[in-house]
A and B are shown apart, each in its own frame.
Chain A
Amino acid sequence: MDIILQNICKTYTKSGVEALKDISFEVPKGELFGLIGPDGAGKTSIFRILTTLLYPNSGKATVLGLDTQTHFKTIREKIGYMPGRFSLYQDLTVEENLNFFARLFNTTIAQNYELIKDIYIQIEPFKNRPAGKLSGGMKQKLALSCALIHRPEILFLDEPTTGVDAVSRKEFWHMLKRLKNEGITIMVSTPYMDEATLCERIALIQNGQILSIDSPEGIQRQYPFRLFAVKSSNMSGLLRFLRALKTVQSVFSFGEYHHVTFLNANASVVDELKIDIKRAGFDQFEIKETTPGIEDCFIQLMPS
Chain B
Amino acid sequence: MQILKYLLIKEFKQIFRNKSILPVIFVSPMMQLLILPLAADYEIKNINLAIIAEQSSTESRRLVEKIQSSGYFKVVSNQHSIDVAQKLMEDDKADLILILPYDFETELTQQKAVSVSVLVNAINGVKAGVGNIYLNRILMDYSTTLRELNLATTPSLQSNIEVRDSYWYNPFLVYSHFMVPGILVLLVTMIGAYLTALNIVKEKELGTIEQINVSPIKKYQFILGKLIPFWLIGQFVFTVGLFVVAEGVYGVIPLGNVGLLYFFLSIYLLAVLGLGLLISTYTQTQQQAMSLAFFFLMIFILLGGLFTAIESMPTWARTIAQFNPISYFIEVMRMVVMKGSTFKDLMPHFGIMTLFAIVINSWAMWNYRKQN
Contact = CB atoms under 8 A, between A and B. Distances in A.
A100 interface: yes
A79 B372 CA distance: 18
Interface stretch (B13-21, B182-190, B270-278, B357-365): B13-21
A88 B211 contact: yes
Most A CB contacts (10 A, CB to CB) among B10, B18, B212, B217 go to: B10
B215 interface: yes
Interface string A97-124: 0001101111000000000000000000
B214 A51 contact: yes
B342 interface: no
A103 B6 contact: yes
Contacts of B3: 103-104, 106
B216 A73 contact: yes
Contacts of A73: 216
Interface in B204-218: 206-208, 210-217
Contact of B14 (A85, A88, A92): A92
A76 B214 contact: yes
Given A83-B211, A87-B211, A104 B216 contact: yes
B14 A104 contact: no
B69 interface: no
Chain A interface residue number, banded: 20 to 34
Nearest to A79: B214
Contact of B206 (A87, A96, A100, A146): A87
B315 interface: no
Given A92-B13, A96-B13, A101 B215 contact: yes
Contacts of A92: 10, 13-14
Contacts of A51: 214
A41 B18 CA distance: 38
A100 B210 contact: no
A145 to B, nearest CB: 13
B350 to A, nearest CB: 37
A92 B11 CA distance: 10
Contact of A105 (B14, B18, B207, B215): B215
Contact of B18 (A52, A81, A88, A91): A91
A76 B217 CA distance: 9
Interface in B246-291: none
A103 B14 CA distance: 17
A79 B213 CA distance: 12
Contacts of B212: 104
B124 interface: no
A232 interface: no
A59 B372 CA distance: 18
A30 B86 CA distance: 94
B210 A83 contact: yes
A77 B218 CA distance: 12
- How many residues of B sit at the interface, in one of the four size bands? 20 to 34
A83 B14 contact: no
Interface in A205-224: none
Could you tell me the dominant secondary structure of chain A's interface residues?
loop
Nearest to B6: A103
Contacts of A90: 206
Contacts of B208: 87-89
A51 B215 CA distance: 10
Contacts of B216: 73, 76-77, 104-106
B308 interface: no
Contact of B210 (A79, A87, A96): A87
B113 to A, nearest CB: 76
Contacts of B211: 81, 83, 87-88, 101, 146
Contacts of B312: none
Nearest to A82: B211
Given A53-B210, A83-B210, A89 B10 contact: yes
Given A85-B207, A103-B6, A53 B214 contact: yes
B207 A87 contact: yes
Nearest to B214: A81
B4 to A, nearest CB: 11
A6 to B, nearest CB: 22
Contacts of A96: 10, 13
26 contacts: A51-B214, A52-B214, A53-B213, A76-B215, A81-B211, A81-B214, A83-B211, A86-B207, A87-B206, A87-B207, A87-B208, A89-B14, A91-B14, A91-B17, A92-B13, A96-B10, A100-B6, A101-B215, A103-B2, A103-B3, A104-B3, A104-B216, A104-B217, A105-B215, A105-B216, A146-B211
The 10 lowest CB-CB distance pairs between A and B, nearest first, are: A87-B207, A103-B6, A104-B215, A81-B214, A77-B216, A85-B207, A76-B216, A87-B208, A51-B214, A91-B17
Given A81-B211, A89-B10, 6 more contacts: A73-B216, A79-B214, A81-B210, A83-B211, A101-B215, A106-B3
